[in-house]
């Protein structure tokens, strides 16, 4: 068999295998568990508590509430920024709740639920830094996390002479900031608040300069899972659970209770 057809055949078989692994709503209910891909290293959204072994944060609690609404148990799989979409499309998780921003590029690969939180991109610097806003990043080195290409593009558009140091996780970026390998970290302000707790001597600078819409990632064509997620979010909005989660995870850091964005 010629090489090219063989490659195409193997790629097709891989897609079929992934589709067979991915579960529909009935599969989730019959198994008794909902597998959510979440961050394990972002305080306030998805953070694995080393003492309890529990994943905590807004995203983790959304998974718990969606599971409860559908009579199943929540289970968590770590979904790092760079592998979230692959985990979902490979069928290794049922849904992704992992500080995922909605944008046109990602819409080509996956579908999104209602937007559950609107964040703003900001800067984290050392307290003695002379950086005051994104305009001061020209000639500076900015830490970014692998897979967060959209945050990087937004900084590049506003500070085209900024350099970038790409790392695997936000805690690694925090360490790089503290030890001087970069001058600033740019990400969602709520993620940066979590880093301030872990790395004393750092602080936010300037106003937020973007609006980032966070939503739950769902495989394309899975109308049943979209309905499962959106109906649960709508119920959480109606009965006050979503605002209660904001009070638990967002208000303590930002001093504000955000409006439900749908």
Question: Structural domains in the chain?
Answer: 3-119+215-254 (3.40.190.10), 121-205 (3.40.190.10)
d(CA 248, CA 132) in angstroms, rounded, equals 30
Quote the CA–CA distance of 132 and 137 in Å, as a whole number.
9
List the single range of 10-24, 183-197, 202-216, 242-256 with lowest mean pLDDT: 10-24
16 pLDDT above the threshold of 70 = no
Q: Is pLDDT above 70 for 53?
A: yes
pLDDT in tens, 134-144: 999 999 999 98
Q: How many CA atoms lie within 13 A of 37 on its CB side?
A: 26
Tell which wins on pLDDT, 54 or 190: 54
pLDDT of residue 47: 94
What pLDDT, in 10s, does the model give residues 152-191?
888 999 999 999 999 988 999 999 999 999 999 999 887 8
pLDDT at 232 over 60: yes
Could you tell me how far CA 200 lies from the centroid of its own chain? 24
- The encoded tokens of residue 51 equal 């003492």
- The mean pLDDT value for 194-207 works out to 90
- pLDDT at residue 179, as a whole number: 96
Coil vs helix vs strand at 226: helix
Backbone torsions φ then ψ of 98, nearest 5 degrees? -145, 60
Between the alpha carbon of residue 192 and those of residues 123, 188, 219, the distances in Å are 8, 6, 29
Structure confidence at residue 148 (pLDDT): 76
């Amino acid at each position: 068999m010629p090489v090219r057809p063989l490659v195409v055949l193997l790629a097709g078989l891989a897609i079929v295998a992934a589709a067979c692994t991915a579960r529909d709503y009935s599969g989730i209910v019959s198994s008794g568990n909902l597998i959510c891909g979440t961050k394990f290293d972002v305080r306030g959204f998805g953070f694995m508590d080393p003492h309890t072994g529990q994943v905590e944060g807004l995203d983790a609690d959304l998974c718990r509430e969606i599971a409860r609404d559908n009579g199943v148990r929540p289970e968590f799989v770590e979904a790092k920024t760079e592998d979230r979409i692959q985990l979902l499309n490979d069928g290794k998780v049922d849904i992704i709740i992992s500080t995922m921003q909605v944008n046109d590029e990602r819409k080509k690969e996956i579908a999104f639920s209602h937007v559950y939180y609107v964040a703003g991109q900001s800067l984290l610097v050392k307290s003695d830094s002379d950086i005051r806003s994104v305009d001061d990043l020209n000639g500076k080195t900015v830490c970014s996390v692998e897979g967060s290409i959209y945050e990087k593009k937004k900084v590049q558009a506003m500070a085209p002479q900024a350099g970038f140091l790409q790392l695997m996780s936000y805690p690694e970026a925090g360490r790089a900031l503290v030890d001087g390998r970069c001058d600033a970290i740019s990400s969602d302000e709520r993620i940066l608040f979590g880093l301030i707790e872990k790395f004393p001597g750092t602080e936010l600078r300037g106003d937020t300069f973007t609006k980032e819409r966070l939503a739950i990632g769902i495989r394309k064509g899975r109308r049943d899972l979209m309905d499962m997620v959106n109906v649960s979010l709508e119920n959480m909005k109606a009965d006050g659970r979503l605002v209660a989660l904001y009070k638990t995870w967002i208000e303590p850091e930002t001093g504000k209770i955000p409006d439900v964005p749908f």
